[in-house]
Amino acid sequence: MDKSLPNRAIEWRDQQLILLDQRLLPNTVEFLHINSVADTYDAIKNMVVRGAPAIGVTAAYGVVISALKHCQQDQHSAIQQIEIDIAKLSKARPTAVNLVWALQRMQNCMRNQNNDCLDALENEAIAIHEEDIAANKAMGELGASYIDEQSTVMTHCNAGALATGGYGTALGVIRSAFAHGKLQKVFANETRPWFQGSRLTAWELEQEQIPVNLICDSAAASALRAHHVDWIIVGADRVAANGDVANKIGTYSLAVLAKHMGKKFMVVAPTSTIDLNSSHGDDIEIEQRGRQEVTHVGDKVMATEGANVWNPVFDVTPAELVDVLITERGAVENPSTSKIAHLFNK
């Protein structure tokens, strides 16, 4: 355990990647020092770090770690080796497009260098990290402008500082709305099977003294009916060109509920999460994770051994259920292919 605690979940310090181990929260705050591409890959795959933008930032630093190892070689061999590492990192998780987006940016940066690319890659990774924080703050303000005084909101999964370079997407909007005195309280869904809501979102909100009611995922409809919830606010792992949204499993059910019950549904995602190569949600690969996430809670068995398990960890919410998509480039109300294309042509 590192004694001098970094103040971010992802930190690049003295040419080392330091990651808050999110698997251990909220009980234990422990940081891992990552010095190899293999460890960067494992950290993403095994969810030491998770959340689409955070995965992208981590992978970018992974490329710098690769460059540190290979930059003593001649330029041609170094580039070859770094490209192999980029290809490996891109396979760590399939759904969050920020991973491939960040790696492509690092690859372009490397290919544009005439000499030693280490400094350029390090600066690019830091820029990806800082730009993500700036985007989150901009989205926080824009999203908060949609929220009325005295509002109550619901969020799903963790789209906070832990899931991004810092500040958060959905939680960024919640943070900003709270700072403007507009929020009464937040319902945080526990988010089975990995408990991002109870372990991470409730932890982040509690630290900021934002009033949080934790509920089981299955209590969402009752909470929406029993309490005056104005907005459901979520992040995204990938937004297709037509506005379909891949996000944590359970998001789709919430969007259907919102439509049925007349609640507003907001998606908050930087443009690095929008994948113009996925024309609609069916083009998005949905990650399937292992059975143990469903059959166990920690080490405790919660299911019969003979049951088969289906564990898709994301789902796709059709664009028609989204009232507004908040990006750092602007808000897209009732998203569609043409409105999203316009966002990129501004």
**Binding residues vs ligand MRU (CB under 6 A):** 50-53, 96, 157, 159, 163-164, 169, 196, 235-237, 247-248, 313
Tokens of 66: 């690769």
Least distance (Å) between residue 159 CB and ligand MRU: 4
Residue found under tokens 């950290």: 43
Residue placing its CB nearer to ligand MRU in the complex, 70 or 248: 248
Nearest residue to ligand MRU on Cβ basis: 235
Residue placing its CB nearer to ligand MRU in the complex, 122 or 203: 203
How far, in Å, CA of 340 to CA of 326, rounded? 11
Phi/psi at 329 (5° precision):
-95, -5
Least distance (Å) between residue 235 CB and ligand MRU: 3
Residue placing its CB nearer to ligand MRU in the complex, 85 or 204: 204
**Catalytic annotation on 74?**
no
Tell me which of 21, 132, 237, 315 is the catalytic residue. Answer: 237
Least distance (Å) between residue 169 CB and ligand MRU: 4
Phi/psi at 259 (5° precision):
-60, -45
Q: Looking at beta carbons, which pairs linking 331-340 to residues 24 or more positions away fall under 8 Å?
A: 331/142, 331/143, 331/146, 332/243, 335/239, 335/242, 335/243, 336/242, 336/243, 337/241, 337/242, 337/243, 337/279, 339/243, 340/239, 340/241, 340/242, 340/243, 340/274, 340/276
Residue placing its CB nearer to ligand MRU in the complex, 18 or 159: 159
Residue placing its CB nearer to ligand MRU in the complex, 157 or 332: 157
Least distance (Å) between residue 196 CB and ligand MRU: 5
Three-state SS at 63? helix
Q: Are 286 and 314 in contact (CB under 8 A)?
A: yes
Gyration radius of the chain's alpha carbons: 20
Least distance (Å) between residue 320 CB and ligand MRU: 20
What residues are annotated to the active site? 237
